[in-house]
Structure 1
Amino acid sequence: MKLISIKRETRAELRFTKKMGELTTNVTYIKKQFLSIPYKTIHKYRQTYYGKIKDCENISLAK
């Protein structure tokens, strides 16, 4: 049994950009788990319509 593991989870989120307005996109979270309890988000990113991977740090969550 592993004590520390890494899990990737994708969920749909509502984002807002100045150029496009509201945007519903799939955001992938990479989380570190200790005994199947997530305790730290290592990285989060989203994939655009054209297949480009973008970091979620430069896009806001609210209007």
Structure 2
Amino acid sequence: MGLIGVQRRTKQEKRFSDEMGMFNAKVTYIQKTFASIPYKTLHKYRETYYGKVKDCSDCVISH
């Protein structure tokens, strides 16, 4: 068991895009942890209704 690890966590978030408007999406965060405390987000992505995986930079959290 090491002190540094990588952890994946999924949570519901409200998002906004121009095409769809406001919607709830499952956003997955990949975070670097030290002693099971997350300190850096390496990547975050979301899955669309059609099963495609998209980066979270194409939609704004609040508009």
Q: Please, what TM-score do these two structures have when normalized by structure 1?
A: 0.95
CA distance in 1, matches of 2:37, 2:11: 18
Structure 1 gaps of 5+ residues are: none
CA distance in 2, matches of 1:35, 1:4: 6
1:30 to 2:59 alignment = no
Partner residue, 2:59:
59
How many correspondences in the alignment? Answer: 63
Partner residue, 1:16:
16
Partner residue, 2:47:
47
Shift in Å, 1:34: 0.5
Deviating beyond 2 angstroms after TM superposition, the runs of 4 or more aligned structure 1 residues are: none
CA distance in 2, matches of 1:38, 1:47: 22
Structure 2 gaps of 5+ residues are: none
Identity %: 54
Shift in Å, 1:18: 1.2
RMSD across aligned C-alpha pairs, in angstroms? Answer: 0.7
Shift in Å, 1:58: 1.4
